[in-house]
C-alpha cells in the first residue's frame, strides 16, 4: 500500500490548538503512564508520529484518536513538554474538520473572529426569520405559539434537523469507511454470518450502552487529574451529566410531540410536573445545565489539562447549550407566573431568543466539539469488534 506524505500535516494540526510536538522522540513515557494505553505500547505516541512524518491518512483512519479522554497525565510527565494530551485534542478537532465537507468546522475552530461572527449572523437570521412571521402578542397571557406560529417552528426545526442529520451522517460514514479500511473490516465481517452478527451486536452494545451511556472506562480506568476534587466536580460525572441531559431533552421533545399528536395536550401548554415529557425534560435540563455550567467554570478557572486550551468553537458550543437551557427554564417558569404585563412582554422575547438559539445549536452540532459524541462511539465500536485485548483505550 502506498503511503502519501503530507508535509503540512503537523502545521495543520497545530492550527487546531496543538503545541510543538516536533521535539517528541517517542520515548514512551506517555505510553507508560496513560491508563488507557493498550498492549501494543504505542498509544498515544503513534498518533504524534503520524503527524510528525505527515501520514495524514493514517491519522484520520485511526480509532485511537477518539479514545483519549484528555486526563493530561501524559502531558504532565512528558520530558520534552510536547503536551501529548493537548495534541490528541487538537488532532480530534482537525479530524472533525476533515470529515465534514463544508469547511464550517474548520472556520469555527481556526478563525477566532470570523467563527463567532458567523454564529451571531446565523442566530440573527433565525430570529429575523421567525419575527417576520410573528403573530399577535396577547397582553394578558403567554400565547407563545400564536406569537411564533407553531407550524413555522416545526417546519424550520425539521429542516434544520435534516441538515444536521445529513451533515452528521456524511461525517460518520466518512470516518467509518476510513477506520474500517484501516482495520480490514468489511460488510461480510459485520453481517456475513450468524457469528458475525452476534459479534457486531455485542460491539454495538459495548460502544453505545456500556461506554457511551455508562461511561465505564472514563469512570473506572481514566485516572482523573483532579484527585482532590469532590465527587460532584469529577470530570467523568460532568461529562456524563451533559450527555444524559442532552439525550433526556431529546427524549422529552419527542414525547411532547407524541402527546401533542395524540391530542393529549396542545403543544406549549403547561402540563403537570409528573407528566413523563415534563418530568424527563426538567430533570434532563437540570442535568445539562449543571454539566455545561461546570464545563464553563472549569475552562475559566483552567482547573485541569482538558480546560487549559479553549478554542472559540469550544466556547460557542457551551454558550449555545447554556443559553438554550437557561431560556428554556425561564419560559417554563414564566408560564406558571401570574400574568403580569411585564412578565408577559419579556416572555415573548425570551421565547424568540430561545427558538433562534436552539435552531442554531442544532444546526452547528456536527461542526463543533459535540461531533466527538458521534465519532467516539464509532471508534469504540471498532475497538470492541477487534476483541478485548485486555486494556484497550476507551
Ligand atoms: S510525547 Fe513526550 S512522553 Fe510521549 S513519546 Fe513523545 S517525548 Fe515521550
Ligand atoms: S487518556 Fe490521558 S494519558 Fe492517555 S493519551 Fe489521553 S490525555 Fe494522555
For 148-215, where are the alpha helices, taking DSSP H only? 150-183, 187-191, 194-204
Closest CA to 375 of 92, 143, 102, 164: 92
- How confident is residue 388, by pLDDT bands cut at 50, 70 and 90? very low
Q: In this predicted structure, what is the pLDDT of residue 52?
A: 93
Q: In this predicted structure, what is the pLDDT of residue 270?
A: 65
Q: In this predicted structure, what is the pLDDT of residue 266?
A: 67
Proportion of the chain above pLDDT 70, given as a percent: 94
Residue 184 has pLDDT above 60, yes or no: yes
CA distances from 161 to 112, 135, 311 (A): 26, 24, 25
Domain boundaries, the chain: 9-99, 104-385
Site residues for ligand 2, CB cut-off 6 Å: 30, 34, 36, 44, 68-74, 84-85, 88, 222
Please name the CATH architecture into which domain 9-99 falls: Orthogonal Bundle (1.10)
**CA within 13 Å, CB half, 28:** 6
- Residue range 262-279, pLDDT digits in tens: 777 766 566 777 888 888
Q: In this predicted structure, what is the pLDDT of residue 254?
A: 84
Say how many Å lie between the CA of residue 30 and the centre of ligand 2.
8
Q: In this predicted structure, what is the pLDDT of residue 223?
A: 64
- Long-range pairs of 67-70 with CB within 8 A, sequence gap ≥ 24: 67/36, 67/43, 67/376, 67/379, 67/380, 67/383, 67/392, 67/393, 67/394, 68/34, 68/36, 68/44, 68/393, 69/36, 69/217, 69/218, 69/222, 69/235, 69/236, 69/394, 70/305, 70/306
Looking at residue 300, what DSSP letter applies?
H
- How confident is residue 390, by pLDDT bands cut at 50, 70 and 90? very low
**CA within 13 Å, CB half, 212:** 22
| CB of 78 closer than 6 angstroms to any ligand 1 atom | yes
Residue bearing the bigger pLDDT, 378 or 151: 378
- Residue range 187-232, pLDDT digits in tens: 998 998 999 999 999 999 999 999 888 888 888 777 654 566 788 8
Say how many Å lie between the CA of residue 107 and the centre of ligand 2.
27
Q: In this predicted structure, what is the pLDDT of residue 1?
A: 58
Say how many Å lie between the CA of residue 263 and the centre of ligand 2.
51
CA dihedral 86, 118, 164, 18 (to 10 degrees): -10
- Residue range 61-78, pLDDT digits in tens: 999 999 898 888 899 999
- Residue range 22-33, pLDDT digits in tens: 889 999 999 999
Residue 387 has pLDDT above 90, yes or no: no
What is the C-alpha to C-alpha distance for residues 383 and 394, in angstroms, rounded to an integer? 8
Say how many Å lie between the CA of residue 113 and the centre of ligand 2.
30
Q: In this predicted structure, what is the pLDDT of residue 340?
A: 72
List the beta strands (DSSP E) in the chain: none
Say how many Å lie between the CA of residue 59 and the centre of ligand 1.
17
CA distances from 196 to 175, 191, 207, 343, 381 (A): 21, 6, 16, 60, 14
The DSSP H or E segment spanning 235 is: helix 235-261
Q: In this predicted structure, what is the pLDDT of residue 268?
A: 58
Mutation test residue for ligand 1: of 20, 22, 26, 75, the one with most atoms within 8 Å of CB: 26
Closest CA to 369 of 197, 225, 246: 246
- How confident is residue 86, by pLDDT bands cut at 50, 70 and 90? very high
- Residue range 295-327, pLDDT digits in tens: 999 999 998 888 888 899 999 999 999 999 999
Q: Span 158-174, mean pLDDT?
A: 95
What is the C-alpha to C-alpha distance for residues 197 and 186, in angstroms, rounded to an integer? 13
pTM of the predicted model as reported, rounded to 2 decimal places: 0.89
Q: In this predicted structure, what is the pLDDT of residue 230?
A: 83
**How many CB atoms sit inside 10 A of residue 103's CB?**
10
Amino acid at each position: 500500500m502506498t503511503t502519501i506524505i503530507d508535509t503540512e500535516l503537523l502545521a495543520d494540526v497545530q492550527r487546531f490548538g496543538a503545541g510543538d510536538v516536533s521535539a517528541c522522540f517517542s520515548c514512551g513515557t506517555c505510553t507508560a503512564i496513560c491508563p488507557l494505553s493498550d498492549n501494543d505500547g504505542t498509544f498515544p505516541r503513534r498518533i504524534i508520529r503520524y503527524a510528525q512524518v505527515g501520514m495524514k491518512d493514517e491519522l484520520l483512519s485511526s480509532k485511537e484518536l477518539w479514545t483519549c479522554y484528555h486526563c493530561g497525565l501524559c502531558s504532565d510527565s512528558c520530558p520534552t513538554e510536547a503536551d501529548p494530551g493537548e495534541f490528541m485534542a487538537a488532532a480530534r478537532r482537525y479530524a472533525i474538520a476533515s470529515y465534514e465537507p463544508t469547511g464550517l468546522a474548520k472556520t469555527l475552530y481556526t478563525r477566532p473572529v470570523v467563527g463567532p461572527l458567523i454564529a451571531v449572523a446565523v442566530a440573527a437570521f433565525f430570529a429575523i426569520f421567525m419575527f417576520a412571521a410573528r403573530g399577535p402578542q396577547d397582553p394578558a397571557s403567554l400565547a407563545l405559539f400564536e406569537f411564533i406560529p407553531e407550524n413555522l417552528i416545526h417546519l424550520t426545526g425539521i429542516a434544520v434537523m435534516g441538515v444536521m442529520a445529513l451533515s452528521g451522517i456524511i461525517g460518520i460514514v466518512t470516518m467509518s469507511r476510513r477506520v474500517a479500511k484501516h482495520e480490514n473490516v468489511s460488510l461480510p465481517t459485520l453481517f456475513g454470518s450468524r457469528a458475525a452478527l452476534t459479534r457486531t451486536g455485542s460491539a454495538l452494545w459495548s460502544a453505545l450502552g456500556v461506554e457511551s451511556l455508562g461511561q465505564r472506562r472514563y469512570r473506572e480506568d481514566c485516572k482523573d487529574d483532579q484527585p482532590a476534587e469532590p465527587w460532584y466536580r469529577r470530570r467523568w460525572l460532568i461529562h456524563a451529566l451533559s450527555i444524559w441531559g442532552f439525550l433526556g431533552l431529546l427524549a422529552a421533545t419527542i414525547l411532547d410531540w407524541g402527546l401533542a399528536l395524540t391530542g393529549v395536550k396542545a403543544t406549549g401548554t403547561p402540563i403537570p410536573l409528573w407528566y413523563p415529557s415534563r418530568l424527563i425534560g426538567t430533570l434532563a435540563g437540570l442535568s445539562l445545565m449543571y454539566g455545561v455550567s461546570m464545563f464553563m467554570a472549569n475552562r475559566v478557572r483552567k482547573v485541569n489539562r482538558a480546560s487549559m486550551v479553549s478554542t472559540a468553537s469550544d466556547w460557542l458550543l457551551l454558550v449555545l447549550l447554556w443559553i438554550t437551557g437557561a431560556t428554556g427554564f425561564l419560559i417554563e417558569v414564566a408560564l406558571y407566573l401570574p400574568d403580569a404585563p411585564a412578565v408577559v412582554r419579556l416572555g415573548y422575547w425570551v421565547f424568540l431568543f430561545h427558538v433562534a438559539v436552539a435552531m442554531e445549536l442544532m444546526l452547528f452540532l456536527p461542526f463543533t466539539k459535540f461531533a466527538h459524541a458521534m465519532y467516539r462511539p464509532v471508534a469504540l465500536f471498532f475497538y470492541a469488534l477487534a476483541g478485548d485485548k485486555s486494556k484497550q483505550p476507551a
